[in-house]
Amino acid sequence: MRGLLIGLAVLAGLASLIRYFPLTWAGTALPSGVGTYSGTIWNGQVSNVPLLGAVSVNGSLGGVQIQTPPGEVTFSGDVTPNGVTDLVLSMPIARLPMSDTRLEGLAGRMSLQIDEAVIKDGACVSATGRASSDVLAANRGRFQWAGPELSGPVDCIDGRLRVQLSGEDAGQAVAATITTGLDGIYRSEISVTTIDAAAGNVLTLFGFNPADAGRYTLSEQGRWR
């Protein structure tokens, strides 16, 4: 999720600069520590962006197109004065730049597609899209347990971006809701229901609390920056 917000922060900052020419002027609008800038808003590059590396910038009168080169982490999208369209982010879970030891060595990927998002004064006004991850299904060899692949819609609630993921297979059901914003604060609510006895050992290692009838829950709040 921190990787997602870094990308959105880059896009939101660039959205305010469409009327300016030198990309180096972006230093006052983009988040601190995002990278170094060269070229112009019409044809430039942001280098050393956390997680993403180099991001190309190609502007027009209607907006700015952002794209990374092919690789493990791919990111692209179009910035308009009102927000973003056609945003796509795909990356390995293990590449998330978070100091969370629970993520170390995990297999699987996460993908995000936002068809359109309206951002005003740093708040998410509206959004349509989908997210998915196979992290629970991809680590059977490591944990001797696997959960379903997850997918679900992306929208806005109370000015914040919300991702709702769910999945079911073989007597197991997972539901996860994650809300976050450009202020860096996120909250996650995850529920796992399973008849697999091995799941309890794995889930408690990741901080889940047993509830009832094979159900485990996890609630967390923190900052991605």
- The boundaries of the domain holding residue 45 are 2-223
| H/E element, 53 | strand 53-60
Phi, psi of 68 (to 5 degrees): -95, 155
In the chain, how long is the greatest CA-to-CA distance? Answer: 60
Question: Do 116 and 127 meet the contact criterion of CB atoms below 8 Å apart?
Answer: yes
Which of 99-103, 119-123, 134-138 has maximum average pLDDT?
A: 134-138
Which letter does DSSP use for residue 212 in this model?
S
Report the alpha-carbon distance of residue 215 to residue 17 in Å, rounded: 48
Please determine, for residue 9, whether its predicted confidence score (pLDDT) is greater than 70: no
CA dihedral (119, 123, 128, 132) positive or negative: positive
185: which residues sit within 8 A by CB, 6+ positions away? 221, 222, 223
Tens digits of residue pLDDT in 176-223: 999 988 777 888 999 999 988 888 888 988 889 998 888 999 998 887
Number of structural domains found in the chain: 1
The rounded distance, in Å, linking the Cα atoms of 181 and 3 is 12
* CA neighbor of 142 nearest in space, from 105, 171, 110: 105
Tell me, what's the pLDDT at 222? 80
Quick one: pLDDT band at residue 20, thresholds 50, 70, 90? very low
In the DSSP assignment, the letter for residue 225 is: -
% of the chain with per-residue pLDDT over 90? 26
